[in-house]
Amino acid sequence: MDLDEVAGRLYALPPAEFTAARQAEVQAARAAGEAALAREIGALRKPTVSAWAVNRLAHEHPDALGELLALGEELRAAWSAHDADALAELTQRRSRLTGRLSRQARELAGLTAAASAEVDQTLDAAVVDADAAEQVRRGHLAKPLSYTGFAPAPVPRERPGRKPKEASEDEVREAEAKKAREREEAEAAYTEWRDLLAQAAQEHQERADKVARLTKKLEKARRRETEARQRLDVARREERLARQRLEKGQTGA
């Protein structure tokens, strides 16, 4: 057993299960006489939800993630070479791959908007930075990554026969397509949450109605119990008086 093996198991778990599982691994290492490994395991940090989502991509979608990381290598090479044509083509591929992986992460982990943004930020860092790419590939992230360095970009070269107006029209079409995709995703998210809201409201109403019915039955049962207790008290009193009269009559006889 080594640290990478243990970390691989732990960082594949949901954050809610991490702490207990880490303690179990620490105890197992101690029982095996590996005190140093136990300390290293104990130092592993609980992952954020967004980091866990990226770890799940590494474990469950390694091919798709590997494709994005390989594209990152090509992009970095294109930046170094100031190859504008390659950058244009690779940037489009990057957008498609990142979008697909982001959707897969949301499906795997049910992310909030903030956590989804952190996943996108981590994937972008992995594309731009080789060290970040290696961290993402290993699937041992404890927190989201970000890239604050400078990524040099070449001055775009005009393609032969391509007029500035055509380039501008292409940019407009690309912006419109992006806006349409964003709207489509927003509509899909709204529809999903609208349906979930309707289901939750219906379930709440059904539960509230059931509670009201049970409360009414309970109040009725309590009234009946009170009446029964009163009859019991009367019967006890009258039985005691009758017994006293009987005993008195027997004594007089």
Contact (CB, 8 A) for 22 and 10: yes
Beta carbons within 10 angstroms of residue 79's beta carbon: 17
Query: What's the whole-number mean pLDDT along residues 117-127?
Result: 90
CA distance 12 to 8: 6
CA distance 201 to 197: 6
Q: How confident is the model at residue 166 (pLDDT cuts 50, 70, 90)?
A: low
What's the pLDDT score for residue 153? 43
Tokens of 132: 């970040």
Looking at 27-31, 39-43, 98-102, which range is the least confident one? 98-102
Q: Which residue has the higher pLDDT, 221 or 199?
A: 221
Q: How confident is the model at residue 190 (pLDDT cuts 50, 70, 90)?
A: low
Beta carbons within 10 angstroms of residue 25's beta carbon: 22
What's the pLDDT score for residue 203? 75
> How confident is the prediction for the chain on average, in pLDDT?
83
Q: Kindly tell me the burial class for residue 3, based on how many C-beta atoms sit within 10 Å of its own C-beta (0-12, 13-18, 19 or more).
A: middle
Contact (CB, 8 A) for 168 and 162: no
Q: Would the pTM count as exceeding 0.85?
A: no
